[in-house]
């Protein structure tokens, strides 16, 4: 009984954040050129899918979210950190389709390189910024505050923001962001009409052919694995995709290639370069022929790119914002139930 009362008191002292809570400068901790997010309490909300219905609440989490041990989910249900339709339930509770599930947890975001996000051009309804490598464009997966949108909101108070297009997390480059929904829709129509042209520069493995080549291969994206494949032999799979490549230079070991996507599929350039035999030089997700099934070990596609992040850290010398340096030695609250504490980064994401 005393233990239960202590748990209830502890929960009353916790301030749970939701997506409505904006990122703040003090949310970040910078150490050795790496930007961490101070761990915070957050409510994840999901609705029961048809394939989840009929499972116990604990089995659902243990099977679908393998990043934490079974015992954690048992404890989380018992103390009310996992709820159904806003109510505590027993560990044997069987979920029904469309029910609301809340998971209240101590959230640790993956670290990124501690780079500024320079604003190159600013107008009342549009921003052009330089996106640094390793930083996602917008909240996705385990990233929320450690994103371009989050950093711009914390550093410059810019909100709301509507990214017109996106760049993969490990990619750097120009990013256009609308500042209102009307402007975002205008850009969307221009992109769909083919009026916007995108160009990318990639460093690839090997000596790329001198002549311009066009890769026409459907892209099949597996959301569960976080990977795409080029369907060279089976045109019935995936979505139609086409990319034009032109070699800029080569030293025999690596080549610099101009990439011009005709379509815009997930990881299209990366996968088309891989299928051509010239993967991007530091793309750990597609450069290796060995693929780990993350549905088995509970990892994510981003985790397989951690080695790539480490190499990026030593190759980029971007300026670390002074506001964040001042906060770099502050502590954060350790949560007794958290499977990531006392580390700043979640397990599997530490940049060595």
Q: What pLDDT, in 10s, does the model give residues 242-268? A: 999 999 999 999 999 999 999 989 999
- pLDDT confidence bin for 15, thresholds 50/70/90: confident
Residue-wise pLDDT tens digits, 269-278:
999 999 999 9
Q: Is the peptide bond before 160 cis (omega within 30 degrees of 0)?
A: yes
**Structure-model confidence comparison of residues 133 and 302, the more confident one:** 133
Tell me how far apart the alpha carbons of residues 55 and 180 are, in angstroms, rounded to a whole number: 42
Asked whether the beta carbons of 249 and 255 are under 8 A apart, the reply is yes
How high is the pLDDT of residue 29? 93
Return the percentage of the chain with pLDDT > 70, whole number: 83
Tokens (6 digits) for 318 = 């971007």
Across 132-149, average pLDDT: 94
Q: How sure is the predictor about 132, in pLDDT bands with cuts at 50, 70 and 90?
A: very high
131 beta partners: 173
Q: What is the mean pLDDT of residues 75-101?
A: 96
Torsion of CA 286, 289, 295, 296, to 10 degrees: -150
pLDDT above 90 for 109: yes
Strand partners, 250: 255
Ordered domains of the chain (ranges, CATH): 40-107 (3.10.290.10), 116-193 (3.30.70.580), 200-276 (3.30.2350.10)
Q: On the CB side of 236, how many CA atoms lie within 13 Å of its CA?
A: 0
Show the 3-state SS of the chain. CHHHHHHHHHHHHCCCECCCCCCCHHHEEEECCEEEECCEEEEEEEECCCCCCCCEHHHHHHHHCCCCCHHHHHHHHHCCCEEECCECCCCCCECCCCCEEEEEEEECCCCEECCCCCEEEEECCEEEEEECCCCCCCCECCECCCCHHHHHHHHHCCCCCEECCCCCCCCCEEEEEECCHHHHHHHHHHHHCCCCCCCEEEEEECCCCCCCEEEECEEEEECCCCEEEEECCCCCCCECCEEEEEEEEECCCEEEEEEEECCCCCCHHHHHHHHCCCCECCCCCCCCCCCCCHHHHCCCHHHHHHHHHHHHHHHCCCCCCHHHHCCCCCCCCCCCCCCCCCCCCCCCCCCC
pLDDT at 296 over 50: no
Q: What's the pLDDT band for 90 if we cut at 50, 70, 90?
A: very high
Are 116 and 320 in contact, with CB atoms under 8 Å apart?
yes
pLDDT band at 298 (very low <50, low <70, confident <90, very high): very low
Which tokens belong to 349? 């994401």
Q: What Å distances lie between residue 72 and 4, 249, 296, CA to CA?
A: 16, 53, 18
Higher pLDDT, 123 or 298: 123
Q: Give the number of residues written for the chain.
A: 352
pLDDT of 54 reads: 96
Instruction: Tell me the average pLDDT of the chain.
Output: 85
Cα separation of 188 and 233, whole Å?
32
The pair of structure tokens assigned to 328 is: 């770099």
168 is catalytic: yes
- Using pLDDT thresholds of 50, 70 and 90, give the confidence band for residue 134: very high
Q: Which of 202-211, 291-300, 304-313, 319-328 has the highest mean pLDDT?
A: 202-211
Catalytic residue among 168, 220, 302, 335: 168
- Average pLDDT of span 191-208: 92
**pLDDT band, very low/low/confident/very high, at 318 (cuts 50, 70, 90):** very low
pLDDT at 26 over 60: yes
Q: What is d(CA 60, CA 17) in angstroms, rounded to the nearest whole number?
A: 24
Residue 319 above 50 pLDDT? no
pLDDT tens by residue, 154-169: 999 999 999 998 898 9
- In this structure, which long-range contacts are made by residues 94-99, counting pairs with CB atoms below 8 Å and at least 24 apart in sequence? 94/54, 94/55, 94/56, 94/57, 95/48, 95/52, 95/53, 95/54, 95/55, 95/56, 95/57, 95/60, 96/48, 96/53, 97/48, 97/49, 97/50, 97/52, 97/53, 98/47, 98/48, 99/47, 99/48
């Amino acid at each position: 009984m005393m233990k239960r009362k202590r748990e209830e008191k502890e929960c009353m002292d916790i301030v749970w954040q939701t997506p409505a809570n904006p990122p703040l400068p003090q949310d970040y901790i910078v150490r050795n050129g790496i930007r961490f997010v101070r761990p915070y309490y957050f409510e994840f909300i999901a609705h029961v899918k048809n394939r989840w219905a009929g499972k116990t609440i604990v089995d659902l989490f243990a099977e679908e979210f393998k990043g934490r041990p079974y015992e954690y989910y048992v404890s989380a249900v018992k103390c009310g950190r996992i709820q159904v339709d806003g109510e505590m339930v027993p560990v044997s509770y069987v979920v029904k389709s469309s029910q609301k599930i809340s998971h209240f947890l101590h959230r640790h975001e993956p670290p990124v390189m501690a780079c500024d996000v320079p604003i190159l051009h600013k107008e009342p309804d549009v921003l052009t910024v330089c996106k640094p490598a390793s930083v996602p464009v917008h909240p996705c997966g385990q990233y929320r505050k450690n994103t371009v949108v989050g950093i711009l909101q914390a550093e410059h108070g810019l909100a709301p923001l509507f990214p017109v297009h996106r760049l993969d997390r490990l990619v750097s480059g120009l990013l256009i962001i609308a500042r209102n929904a009307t402007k975002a829709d205008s850009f969307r129509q221009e992109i769909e009409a083919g009026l916007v042209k995108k160009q990318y520069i990639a460093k690839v493995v090997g000596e790329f052919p001198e002549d311009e080549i066009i890769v026409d291969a459907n892209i099949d994206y597996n959301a569960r694995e976080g990977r795409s494949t080029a369907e060279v032999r089976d045109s019935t799979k995936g979505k139609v995709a086409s990319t034009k490549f032109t070699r800029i230079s080569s030293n025999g070991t690596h080549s610099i290639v101009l990439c011009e996507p005709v379509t815009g599929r997930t990881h299209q350039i990366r996968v088309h370069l891989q299928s051509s035999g010239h993967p991007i030089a530091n793309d750990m997700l597609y450069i290796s022929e060995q693929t780990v099934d993350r549905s088995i070990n509970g990892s994510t596609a981003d985790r397989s790119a951690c080695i790539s992040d480490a190499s990026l850290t030593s190759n980029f010398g971007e300026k670390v914002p002074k506001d964040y340096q001042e906060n770099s030695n502050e502590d954060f609250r350790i949560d007794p139930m958290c499977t990531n504490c006392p580390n700043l980064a979640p397990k599997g994401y530490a940049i060595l």
